């Protein structure tokens, strides 16, 4: 490998790129990482981490309200948005330093600049320096997509800007019905904003289990969030400090902010991909890769959101680790993209792993459904009008648990553990044989004995 300046050049200092760099360096490779913005990528800087911090903060008002039912008398309280943002910024800065330090401790070199491919083995840095590499890993992630250029699109913010607003908006319109839109709807509503969600589909959370979609929407609406489906934003007018959002239905909404969260696109532009011969997947706009994360060019790989496969941080990390072990560790590791648990940190929280009921019925001839909808123990004293949904999707022939779907407090934490059982192909009998842990919400997963529905697909004549 002495013919090249480095053995591995990583473009992008996010979670996936950093993991790949550290593992490759641990295998003895000479590694350089280029990051033009901030180390940590989408998740650490402008995604999962600051989002979860905001979610935690926005829950506090419910805790204060619920306290009265448990005998607490809490006086006048106040919330300061600027303090939240400042403290979040301090924590993100700490994590950014930690990411940089950990990469350097592994023996890799970090350069804070943009890198562009000049050919399959040559990169040009924004500083003017040229670096050659035997292998190149592209881990540049994704960015918010605002969709069609409607009139007034320049007035719209994305999740990126939402983390840095100078003031908490009294009223906000959010277009979108997926993870990001619903998480920010809960965040702003929790801090006291009047929130309206606009979504083009018939219901929020496209691709999720139908029962989850219905339950989550009902619970969000109980919390005062207005959800308008079946229409889109067609125009945004600015009036002084406020905005008027015009909808395809013909109605309009006044607000202090307008946010779009209608999807993300892979960061593939201006990287020199065409020059190096790296193919783009026409189906999703991401870098086309095989099961080993290899692109159309033998020495160039891509992982994470830039491939637009499964856009989740742990997936990018697993892909980065597998790439480094395969290429530099002489130990081929293939990432299994099946049965990936996921969570929506909306309010209420959603955790899901495996197949939805609809997916299972399409793939299996016999499907049993176990479902419960109950009032959590806390609500019996707080008086809050909220219910938890738990659902198991089971193969009626083998008894294997195919999917688990939870809506309610702690859904993500519960789902992470259930995902182990689902990945191990546990059966409903295994769940039934597990002792309940009482009193918890999660005990419902091992105490549901009778199916609420049984589906048998008739064979074609």
Give the model confidence (pLDDT) of 55-77 as tens digits.
Answer: 999 999 999 999 999 999 999 99
Structure tokens at 62: 């419910």
Q: What is the average per-residue pLDDT within 322-332?
A: 96
d(CA 257, CA 174): 9
d(CA 243, CA 63): 32
Q: What is the average per-residue pLDDT within 381-401?
A: 97
CATH 3.30.390.30 describes domain 348-452: yes
* Per-residue model confidence (pLDDT) at position 298: 96
**Burial class of 148 by CB neighbour count within 10 A (0 to 12, 13 to 18, 19+):** exposed
Structure tokens at 135: 């292998």
Q: What is the average per-residue pLDDT within 283-304?
A: 96
Q: ∠455-457-458 over CA atoms, to 5°? A: 135
DSSP E strand stretches across 139-229: 142-144, 171-175, 194-199, 226-229
Q: What is the average per-residue pLDDT within 262-277?
A: 95
Q: Which of 1-5, 332-336, 409-413 has the lowest mean pLDDT?
A: 1-5
pLDDT band at 29 (very low <50, low <70, confident <90, very high): very high
pLDDT band at 8 (very low <50, low <70, confident <90, very high): very high
* Per-residue model confidence (pLDDT) at position 1: 45
Q: What percent of the chain has pLDDT over 90?
A: 96
d(CA 85, CA 76): 22
Which residues make up the CATH 3.50.50.60 domain(s) of the chain? Answer: 6-144+265-327, 153-262
H/E segment holding residue 416: helix 411-423
Structure tokens at 419: 């995902």
Q: Which of 121, 246, 337, 438 is catalytic?
A: 438
d(CA 183, CA 191): 13
- DSSP, residue by residue, 13-59: -BHHHHHHHHHHHHTT--EEEE-SS-TBHHHHHHSHHHHHHHHHHHH
Q: What percent of the chain has pLDDT over 70?
A: 99
Question: Residue ranges of the alpha helices (H) in 68-209?
Answer: 81-105, 159-162, 179-190
Q: Mark whether 155 is an active-site residue.
A: no
- Whether residue 440 has pLDDT greater than 80: yes
Indicate the fold that domain 153-262 takes in CATH: FAD/NAD(P)-binding domain (3.50.50)
pLDDT band at 373 (very low <50, low <70, confident <90, very high): very high
- Name, in order, each residue with C-beta under 8 angstroms of 6's C-beta and a sequence gap of 6 or more: 29, 30, 31, 32, 109, 131, 132, 133, 134
* Per-residue model confidence (pLDDT) at position 148: 86
CATH no. of 6-144+265-327: 3.50.50.60
Query: For the segment 172-200, what is each residue's pLDDT rounded down to a tens digit?
Result: 999 999 999 999 999 999 999 999 999 99
What is the pTM assigned to this prediction?
Answer: 0.94
DSSP E strand stretches across 189-306: 194-199, 226-229, 233-239, 242-247, 252-255, 257-260, 264-266, 300-302
pLDDT band at 205 (very low <50, low <70, confident <90, very high): very high
Q: What average pLDDT is seen over the chain?
A: 95
Bond into 22 cis (ω within 30): no
* Per-residue model confidence (pLDDT) at position 457: 86
Which residues make up the CATH 3.30.390.30 domain(s) of the chain? Answer: 348-452
First to last CA, the chain: 62
Which residue's structure tokens are 């889109």?
Answer: 232
- Name, in order, each residue with C-beta under 8 angstroms of 379's C-beta and a sequence gap of 6 or more: 385, 386
């Amino acid at each position: 490998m002495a013919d090249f300046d480095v053995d591995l050049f990583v473009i992008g200092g996010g979670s996936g790129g950093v993991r790949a760099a550290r593992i490759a360096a641990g295998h003895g490779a000479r590694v350089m990482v280029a990051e033009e913005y901030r180390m940590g990528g989408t998740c650490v800087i402008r995604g999962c981490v600051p989002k979860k911090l905001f979610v935690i903060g926005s829950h506090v008002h419910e805790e204060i309200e619920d306290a009265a039912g448990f005998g607490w008398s809490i006086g006048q309280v106040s919330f300061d948005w600027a303090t939240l943002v400042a403290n979040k910024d301090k924590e993100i800065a700490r994590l950014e330093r930690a990411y940089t330090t950990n990469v350097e401790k592994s023996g890799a070199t970090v350069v804070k600049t943009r890198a562009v491919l000049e050919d399959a083995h040559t990169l040009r840095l924004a500083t003017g320096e040229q670096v050659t590499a035997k292998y190149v890993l592209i881990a540049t992630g994704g960015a918010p997509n605002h969709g069609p250029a409607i009139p007034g699109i320049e007035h719209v913010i994305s999740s990126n800007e939402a983390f840095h607003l100078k003031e908490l908006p009294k009223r906000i319109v959010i277009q979108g019905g997926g993870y990001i839109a619903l998480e920010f709807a809960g965040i702003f509503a929790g801090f006291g904003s009047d929130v309206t969600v606009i979504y083009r589909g018939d219901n929020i959370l496209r691709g999720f289990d139908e029962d989850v979609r219905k339950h989550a929407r009902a619970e969000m609406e109980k919390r005062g969030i207005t959800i308008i489906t079946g229409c889109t934003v067609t125009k945004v007018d600015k009036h002084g400090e406020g905005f008027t959002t015009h909808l395809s239905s013909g109605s309009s909404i006044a607000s202090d902010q307008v946010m779009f969260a209608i999807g993300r696109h892979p960061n593939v532009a201006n990287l020199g991909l065409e020059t190096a011969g790296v193919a783009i997947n026409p189906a999703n706009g991401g870098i086309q890769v095989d099961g080993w994360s290899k692109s159309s060019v033998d020495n160039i790989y891509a992982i994470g959101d830039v491939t637009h496969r499964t856009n989740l941080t742990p997936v990018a990390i697993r892909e980065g680790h597998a790439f480094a072990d395969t290429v530099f560790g002489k130990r081929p590791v293939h990432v299994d993209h099946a049965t990936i648990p996921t969570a929506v940190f909306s309010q209420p929280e959603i955790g899901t792993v495996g197949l939805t009921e609809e997916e299972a019925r399409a793939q299996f001839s016999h499907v049993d459904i176990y479902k419960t909808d109950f009032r959590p123990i806390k609500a019996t004293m707080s008086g809050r009008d909220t219910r938890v949904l738990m659902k198991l999707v089971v193969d009626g022939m083998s008894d294997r648990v195919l999917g688990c779907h939870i809506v309610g407090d702690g859904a993500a934490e519960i789902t992470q553990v259930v995902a182990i059982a689902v990945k191990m192909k546990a059966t409903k009998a295994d769940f039934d044989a597990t002792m309940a842990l009482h009193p918890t919400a999660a005990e419902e997963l091992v105490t549901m004995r009778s199916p609420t529905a049984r589906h048998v697909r008739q064979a074609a004549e």
